[in-house]
Amino acid sequence: MSLTTKTRGLRAIGAACVAVLIAAALPANAQEAPDAMVKRVSQDVIATIKADPLVQAGNEARIREVIEAKLVPNFDFPRMTALAMGKNWRAASPEQQKRLADEFKTLLVRTYSGALTKYRDEAIDYKPLRMSPADTDVTVRTLVMKSGGQPIQIDYSLTKAADGWKVFDVVIGGVSLVTNYRDEFNEQMKNGGVDGLIKTLSDRNKGVAAK
């Protein structure tokens, strides 16, 4: 057996393995319960940031990469943005809606990266989920135990999509992210319309300080 055929053979086996893995992962993902998804993703992110030396050294760009890879695919940013915009969402063109969702996503990823740099081994208690099979919107409740501090309740609102459950709101100690942005977005809309809001969001993402 020549070296090339050997390599080819290995490649074929590799490709077959990947195909099997994808085939195995797809139906599992589609059936994965929302609370199981939240738990799997949270544990995955925590394990990754704990094991990554760059993250441990406080490299925010690397933390952002981890979030982009592991968290972002599980979020429904257009729906989040639409909810935060309220009736203003319909005033935006499809192109503006896309830009808004992109900028909002970046802002939330930046915020979340900043928060994750402060993560210190807090234990997370995943509350049992009550849902019926017909539900398309559910809330997964978790309690984050801070050592030497008060536990913080973090709830995730999820919606059922074709490729699994997607988070569309995070409620921290009773404070909904989406609701919190509603007034902010309204205010920006009043001052500069949809384009004004896009500009404010992109300025913030470029590091321009808030008012």
Partner 1 sequence: MKTMPRLIAATALALLAGCAATPSKVDPLEPMNRALYKVHDVLDTNIVKPVAEGYATVVPQFMRTGFANVFNNIDDLFSAVNGLLQGKPEKAGNDLGRVLINTFFGMGGLIDIASDAGIERGNEDFGQTFAVWGIPQGPYLFIPLFGPTTVRDGAGVIVRIAVGPVGYINDVALRNSIYGVGYVDLRSQVLESGSIVDTAALDRYIFIRNAYLQRRRYLIYDGKPPPEPEDE
Q: How many CB atoms lie within 10 A of CB 163?
A: 10
User: Which of residues 37 and 88 has its CB atom nearest to partner 1 in the complex?
Assistant: 88
Q: Which residues bind partner 1 (CB under 8 A)?
A: 86-87, 107-108, 110-111, 114-115, 118, 148-151, 153, 173-176, 179-185, 187-188, 200-201, 204, 209-211
Q: What is the DSSP letter of 75?
A: B
- Provide the CA 171 distance to its chain's centre, in angstroms: 13
Q: At what angle do helices 94-116 and 60-70 cross, to 10 degrees?
A: 120
CB 80 within 8 A of CB 61: no
In the complex, least distance from residue 60 CB atom to partner 1, rounded to whole angstroms: 10
Residue whose structure tokens are 């639409």: 82
User: Which of residues 37 and 97 has its CB atom nearest to partner 1 in the complex?
Assistant: 97
In the complex, least distance from residue 106 CB atom to partner 1, rounded to whole angstroms: 11
User: Which of residues 86 and 164 has its CB atom nearest to partner 1 in the complex?
Assistant: 86
List, as own/partner pairs, every contact residues 2-7 make where C-beta atoms lie below 8 angstroms and the sequence separation is at least 24, other chains included: none
How many residues does this entry show for the chain?
211
Q: At 3, list the tokens.
A: 């070296």
In the complex, least distance from residue 121 CB atom to partner 1, rounded to whole angstroms: 13
User: 176 forms bridges with which residues in the sheet?
Assistant: 171
User: Which of residues 37 and 75 has its CB atom nearest to partner 1 in the complex?
Assistant: 75
Between CA 174 and CA 152 the distance in angstroms is: 9
In the complex, least distance from residue 59 CB atom to partner 1, rounded to whole angstroms: 16
In the complex, least distance from residue 178 CB atom to partner 1, rounded to whole angstroms: 11
Between CA 188 and CA 182 the distance in angstroms is: 10
User: Which of residues 27 and 174 has its CB atom nearest to partner 1 in the complex?
Assistant: 174
Give all strands (DSSP E) within 20-136, no chain letters.
Answer: 123-126
User: Which of residues 104 and 165 has its CB atom nearest to partner 1 in the complex?
Assistant: 104
In the complex, least distance from residue 173 CB atom to partner 1, rounded to whole angstroms: 6
